[in-house]
Amino acid sequence: MTTDKACKAIFVPDTDASANLTITIEGDGGVASSPPGIDCGDLDDCSEDYLLGSHVELTATPRVGWEFVGWSGDCSGLIGSPVIVELETSKNCTAIFQEATLPAVPGDYPLDIEIIGQGEVTSSDAGITCGNDCIENYTPETLVTLTAVAKDGYRLKGWSGSCSGTNSTTTVTMNAAKECIATFEIIPVDDYDGVPGSIENDAPNNGDGNSDGILDSEQNHVVSLPTPEGNYVTVEVSENCSVENIRLSQRGLPTDGDYYYPYLLDYFLDCPNTEVTVYHHGYSNICDYTCRQYAPLIPGLAETSQWQDSGMSCDTTMIDGQTVATTTFTLTDGGTGDSGITDDKILHTSGCGTQSGCLAFVENTLFADEFGNATTHTAPMKIAREGDACEGTVSTDYTTQDNTATQNADYLPASGTLTWADGDCSDKTITVSILDDILPEGDETANILFSNLVGAPFCDENQAVLTIKDNEMPSSTDNGSNSENCYNLPTCNVCCNGCQASEEDGVNAKTIIVTIEVGNTIDILLTEGKGQLLLNEIPDNTFVSLDSWKTVGSGTGQVTLTGLNVGSTKMTISDSTLAQVATIYINVIESDQVTDVDFGIRAMLVTLEVEQSLDVTVAGGQGALSINKIPSNQFVALDAWTPLNDTGAADFTLRGLQVGETDMIIYDNANPPQKVTVTIRVIPSKTADEENKPSAQDVSDADTDEALEELVRACEIGNALAINTHGQGFDSDSCFNGVVRNHGQALPNHSYFSHTAAQDVEIAGAVKVDPVHVGQPAEILLVGIYQTLTSERDYLRDEENWQAWDKQLSTLQAAGFYEQLPETFTVPIYTGDLSQTAGEFTVFMGYRLTDGTIVYNGIEPIHFFVGNSLSLDLMAGTRLDAEQPIQQVATYFEPFVHNFEGYEGNNLIFVNRDLLNISTFVRVDPQHVGKMVDILMVAVHKRSLDQVEYARDSQTWHRWDKQLDSLQPVKHYLQLPETLEIPVYFGELANVPGEFVVYVGYRTEDGVVTFNGIEPIHFTVANGFGLDENSQPFETTARFASWVYQMENRGNPFQTQSRGSFGIGVNIIPDSTHIGETA
Q: What is the pLDDT of residues 250-302, one digit of tens each?
A: 777 888 877 778 889 999 999 999 999 999 998 877 888 889 999 998 887 88
Instruction: Express each pLDDT in 72-87 by its tens digit.
Output: 999 888 888 888 888 8
Residue 479 included in any domain: no
For residues 360 and 456, the answer to whether their CB atoms sit within 8 Å is no
- Residue 602 above 80 pLDDT? no
- Residue 9 above 90 pLDDT? no
Top-confidence residue, 684 or 924: 924
pLDDT at 865: 92
902 residue type, one letter: G
Residue 690 included in any domain: no
pLDDT at 326: 95
For residues 217 and 191, the answer to whether their CB atoms sit within 8 Å is yes
Region of poorest pLDDT, from 299-308, 611-620, 896-905: 611-620
- Residue 154 above 60 pLDDT? yes
Q: Would you place residue 699 in the very low, low, confident or very high pLDDT band (cuts 50, 70, 90)?
A: very low
Region of poorest pLDDT, from 127-136, 367-376, 657-666, 851-860: 367-376
- Residue 492 above 70 pLDDT? no
Top-confidence residue, 483 or 313: 313
Last residue of a domain, one of 355, 387, 414: 355
Q: Would you place residue 617 in the very low, low, confident or very high pLDDT band (cuts 50, 70, 90)?
A: low
pLDDT at 185: 80
Instruction: Express each pLDDT in 513-536 by its tens digit.
Output: 667 778 888 777 665 565 556 666
- The helix or strand, by DSSP H or E, that contains position 709, with its residue range, turns out to be helix 706-713
Top-confidence residue, 327 or 289: 327
Helix (H, G, I), strand (E, B) or coil at 503: coil
Task: Tell me the β-bridge partners of 994.
Answer: 1021
For residues 487 and 439, the answer to whether their CB atoms sit within 8 Å is no
> Phi, psi at residue 1035, to the nearest 5°?
-85, 150
- Residue 691 above 70 pLDDT? no
Residue 594 included in any domain: no
- Contacts of 653 by beta carbon, 8 Å cutoff, 6+ apart: 613, 614, 615, 616, 638, 639, 640
- The helix or strand, by DSSP H or E, that contains position 325, with its residue range, turns out to be strand 322-332
User: Residue 980 sits in a domain of what CATH number?
Assistant: 2.70.50
User: Residue 560 sits in a domain of what CATH number?
Assistant: 2.60.40.3450
- Tell me how long the chain is: 1079
Region of poorest pLDDT, from 405-414, 461-470, 784-793, 858-867: 461-470
pLDDT at 518: 83
Taking alpha carbons only, the member of 207, 199, 577 closest to residue 360 is 577
208 and 350 fall within a common domain: yes
Last residue of a domain, one of 83, 101, 119: 101
CA angle 208, 213, 218 (to 5 degrees): 60
Residue 732 included in any domain: yes
For residues 95 and 29, the answer to whether their CB atoms sit within 8 Å is yes
Q: State the average pLDDT over residues 184-210.
A: 82
Last residue of a domain, one of 325, 355, 385: 355
Region of poorest pLDDT, from 419-428, 449-458, 562-571, 680-689: 680-689
861 and 879 fall within a common domain: no
Q: Are strands 1039-1046 and 947-952 parallel, antiparallel or unpaired?
A: unpaired
User: Residue 410 sits in a domain of what CATH number?
Assistant: 2.60.40.2030
- Residue 880 above 70 pLDDT? no
In this structure, is the dihedral angle defined by the CA atoms of residues 585, 591, 596 and 600, taken in order, positive or negative? positive
Top-confidence residue, 1001 or 635: 1001
Instruction: Express each pLDDT in 653-682 by its tens digit.
Output: 888 888 877 888 887 777 767 777 777 878
pLDDT at 1066: 83
Q: Would you place residue 22 in the very low, low, confident or very high pLDDT band (cuts 50, 70, 90)?
A: very high
32 and 177 fall within a common domain: no
Question: Between the CA of residue 45 and those of 36, 37, 371, 682, what are the distances in Å?
Answer: 11, 8, 61, 45
975 and 894 fall within a common domain: yes
536 and 585 fall within a common domain: yes
Taking alpha carbons only, the member of 1020, 722, 1031, 1011 closest to residue 887 is 1011
700 and 806 fall within a common domain: yes
Determine the Cα–Cα distance for residues 604 and 618; give it in Å rounded to an integer.
9
For residues 909 and 1036, the answer to whether their CB atoms sit within 8 Å is no
Determine the Cα–Cα distance for residues 263 and 716; give it in Å rounded to an integer.
75
pLDDT at 962: 83
Q: Would you place residue 864 in the very low, low, confident or very high pLDDT band (cuts 50, 70, 90)?
A: very high
DSSP, residue by residue, 277-319: EEEEET-TTGGGSEEEEEEESSTT-GGGEEEEE---EEEEEEE
- Estimate to the nearest angstrom the gap between the alpha carbon of 119 and the chain centroid: 17
Region of poorest pLDDT, from 12-16, 412-416, 840-844: 12-16
Top-confidence residue, 937 or 453: 937
Mean of the per-residue pLDDT values of the chain = 78
Percent of the chain with pLDDT over 70: 79
In this structure, is the dihedral angle defined by the CA atoms of residues 237, 241, 242 and 248, taken in order, positive or negative? negative
User: Residue 859 sits in a domain of what CATH number?
Assistant: 2.60.40.3930
pLDDT at 513: 60
- Residue 421 above 80 pLDDT? yes
Q: Would you place residue 784 in the very low, low, confident or very high pLDDT band (cuts 50, 70, 90)?
A: very high
568 and 702 fall within a common domain: no
Supply the range of the domain harboring residue 1048. Answer: 1026-1069
Instruction: Express each pLDDT in 531-553 by its tens digit.
Output: 556 666 677 777 888 777 666 55
pLDDT at 594: 34
Determine the Cα–Cα distance for residues 982 and 1000; give it in Å rounded to an integer.
8
- Residue 787 above 70 pLDDT? yes
Determine the Cα–Cα distance for residues 232 and 262; give it in Å rounded to an integer.
12
* Cα-based torsion angle of the residue sequence 648, 653, 656, 662 in order, rounded to the nearest 10 degrees: -20
Q: Would you place residue 205 in the very low, low, confident or very high pLDDT band (cuts 50, 70, 90)?
A: very high
528 and 612 fall within a common domain: no
700-701, strands of its sheet edge to edge: 700-701, 824-832, 761-768, 735-742, 745-747
931 and 1048 fall within a common domain: no
pLDDT at 659: 82
Number of helices and strands in the chain (H, E): 3, 81
- Contacts of 111 by beta carbon, 8 Å cutoff, 6+ apart: 123, 128, 135, 136, 137, 138, 144, 172, 174, 177, 178, 179, 180
Helix (H, G, I), strand (E, B) or coil at 141: coil
pTM of the model: 0.39
pLDDT at 598: 37
C-alpha gyration radius of the chain: 35
Region of poorest pLDDT, from 400-414, 443-457, 689-703, 853-867: 689-703
Residue 480 included in any domain: no
218 and 290 fall within a common domain: yes
- Residue 995 above 60 pLDDT? yes
664 and 729 fall within a common domain: no
862 and 719 fall within a common domain: yes
Residue 921 included in any domain: yes
Residue 450 included in any domain: yes
Indicate the number of domains in the chain.
Answer: 9
Taking alpha carbons only, the member of 674, 678, 677 closest to residue 622 is 674
Residue 759 included in any domain: yes
Instruction: Express each pLDDT in 41-56 by its tens digit.
Output: 766 789 988 888 888 8
For residues 580 and 555, the answer to whether their CB atoms sit within 8 Å is no
